[in-house]
Amino acid sequence: MLKQLSNTPGDVEALTPRFKRIKRNPFSIRNLALVVASAGLLVAGYGYTCHTKLFLTDQSLAAGENEATASEHVHASDPKAFQQCAIENILDTGLPFLKNALPIEIADFQDRRDRLAAALVAEDVDAFVVEPGYTFKYYGNVSQPEWEVWEPEERPFLMVVRPAWDQTTGQIRENTTFLCPSFEAERARLLGMPFTEEIQIVPWEEHWNPYTTLQQSDVFMGLSRTPRLMVDEEMRDFIQRGLGSVGFDVVGLRGRVEEVRQIKSAREVEILRAVNTGTVEAVRQMRKCLYPGLTESEIATVLDNTLRAAGMDPFFDIVLFDENASNPHGGTNGTKVLDAETFILIDVGAHLYGYSSDICRTFFPPFLEKPSRDEAPSPRLAEKLKVWDIVFDAQTQSIRQMRENMTAASVDLAAREVITTAGYGRTFTHRVGHGIGIKAHESPYLNKGNFNTLLKTGMTFTSEPGIYLIDKFGVRHEDILLVQGDEEPHLLTGSRANGPWDP
Ligand SMILES: *[C@@H]1O[C@H](CO)[C@@H](O)[C@H](O)[C@H]1NC(C)=O
Ligand SMILES: *[C@@H]1O[C@H](CO)[C@@H](O)[C@H](O)[C@H]1NC(C)=O
Ligand SMILES: *[C@@H]1O[C@H](CO)[C@@H](O)[C@H](O)[C@H]1NC(C)=O
Ligand SMILES: *[C@@H]1O[C@H](CO)[C@@H](O)[C@H](O)[C@H]1NC(C)=O
Ligand SMILES: CC(=O)N[C@H]1CO[C@H](CO)[C@@H](O)[C@@H]1O
């Protein structure tokens, strides 16, 4: 019975498509009614019972009945009922966290390239060169698989961004050209990259040297020195060497140019807030439906489908019980079975409009009763409670350091001091966090050696200290923060955990 769920959407996926419609505009009362009606169909159609079923009708909505007053779905009894309960719970929230997120527009891409152009001038570089990948996606909306479906190929297709002076405003603007295999030029145009005018292409024939073609094009005409190119960190080595071999002065990613992507716009922040808050909410709503006997894999599958039902696209999901969580990134096979005193660690990420969430919660299942104040918990439980609090305090201290001009190292060291003072220093085995954006892991990296990087307003980070006790359990809390000048950073995960029974 329990084996029915697979690691992939599989059979349970059949339940989710009917919720897809809410992706477009989940906020009108009409759509909310549709969602509720769908949930109703689901219950009726499949005949599963959720212990306390919320079922709003159009009339009750029209009468202004508040769905929050209805009791919520509690733990289920089999994997399908578990999933149904989790999906209904997340939909019953009305998905308010999605409300302020809007997709990135052409003007945003334009603005990024203009900021890049200004950074190139500041770094005394004549052009930035990047091939399809995350950075190309950031500036030109094409990822590596969107350009090369089968495998990364050997023919260079490069975006070349140069600074130009706008005669009327005197400002630095971008001027972008693509070096493209001649026979692929039309395909490059068909990508519909975010430019307001027709893209400029320098084509190269199969038997030409593409780097010489670029060098002799009008792109670098009128330059009084050997063109200095900055290549992105994802640029493959043979292309860098090719550029160097024909006489370009090639330098690596650094300084102001790297900072362009690190500093998020208001629109990016709202997407990050939406997807990270929504991911935490999915964990919370799923948790209410847990029952003894579920495996780590079954929970991961249901959490993935809960995220999908809420319009997000999960891309990693680590669910670990007790001693299996002493490896921060897991590695065990997902078969461990849930029991009342199991400490559940979930680290999960999803995408929304191309941006990542990356959050972690550690908690007890809802069917473990919280010990009352006057009753001493068992030593096993007491240790879990103590470690949970230490990691929480460590996270609090690291967050306090997330202000403009603090070093990346200081954020890590603040968390590490709490954990070390508590006697668990050697069990906090990884850095405290990293930047987050279109990738879950982006620079700058918050490790205790990174004294050279200063935090800037607009950077977004994880804070994720942990304690890992081999053969016992692991605890990690992870939230997302936005650096805001000298103020406390803003939380982009809605709310931090309140305790092991309220993650
Ligand atoms: C960027 O690409 C995605 C597909 O990966 C597409 O959905 C989106 O509309 C594109 N954005 C713009 C502004 O062209
Ligand atoms: C961009 O550079 C090209 C040369 O590669 C030039 O022909 C074109 O006029 C420039 N466009 C702007 C807007 O500066
Ligand atoms: C999972 O790993 C455990 C040992 O850690 C092993 O006993 C069990 O057979 C494995 N299960 C599967 C389905 O591979
Ligand atoms: C950070 O340092 C820069 C450069 O020294 C300064 O202009 C800025 O005001 C500082 N920010 C804060 C919040 O102190
Ligand atoms: C360290 C480790 O592998 N611990 C356990 C993880 O879960 C599996 C399945 O229950 C156990 O067999 C392992 O001992």
329-369 pLDDT, tens digit each: 999 999 999 999 999 999 999 999 999 999 999 999 999 99
**Is there a cis peptide before residue 365, judged by omega within 30 degrees of 0?**
no
Task: Tell whether ligand 3 has an atom less than 6 A from the beta carbon of residue 7.
Answer: no
Please give the Cα distance from 432 to 429 (Å, whole number).
9
324, two tokens = 């299996």
- Percent helix, strand, coil in the chain, to 5, is 40, 20, 40
Length of the chain: 503
Query: Can you count the helices (H) and strands (E) in the chain?
Result: 15, 17
- Over residues 196-217, the mean pLDDT reads 98
Q: Which ligand is nearest to the CA of 333?
A: 3
Minimum-distance ligand to the CA of 177? 2
Task: For residue 397, count CB atoms less than 10 angstroms from its CB and return exposed for 0-12, middle for 13-18, buried for 19 or more.
Answer: buried
The conformation of residue 469, written as its DSSP 8-state character, comes to E
Number of C-beta neighbours around residue 262 at 10 A: 18
* Average model confidence (pLDDT) across the chain: 88
Q: Which of 256, 404, 407, 410 has the most ligand 4 atoms within 8 A of CB, as the residue to mutate?
A: 404
Q: Which ligand is nearest to the CA of 168?
A: 2
317 sits in which H/E element: strand 313-321
Which ligand does the CA of 195 lie closest to? Answer: 1
Q: Identity (one letter) of the amino acid at 84?
A: Q
Residue 336 Cβ contacting ligand 5 at under 6 Å? yes
Which pLDDT belongs to residue 156?
98
Cβ contact 160:214 at 8 Å = yes
pLDDT for 1: 31
Helix H or strand E segment including 479: strand 479-482
Residue 115 Cβ contacting ligand 5 at under 6 Å: no
- In this predicted model, what pLDDT tens digit does every residue of 240-278 receive, in sequence order? 999 999 999 999 999 999 999 999 999 999 999 999 999
- The pick from 136, 141, 146, 149 for probing ligand 1's pocket by mutation, whose C-beta has the most ligand atoms within 8 angstroms, reads 141
Q: How many other C-beta atoms are found inside a 10 Å radius of the C-beta of residue 10?
A: 12
Whether 219 lines ligand 2, by a CB cut-off of 6 Å, is yes
Residue 72: the pLDDT is 58
CA–CA separation, 245 vs 323, rounded Å?
53
pLDDT at res. 375: 87
Which residue minimizes the CA distance to atom 5 of ligand 4? Answer: 405
How far is 480 from 79, CA to CA, in rounded Å?
Answer: 31
- In 3D space, the residue among 256, 204, 210 whose CA is nearest the CA of residue 230 turns out to be 256
In the chain, the percentage of residues whose pLDDT exceeds 90 is 82
Contact present, 96 and 26 (Cβ < 8 Å): no
CA nearest to 420, candidates 408, 409, 429:
429
How far away, in angstroms, is 496 Cα from ligand 2 center?
Answer: 50
SS3 64: coil
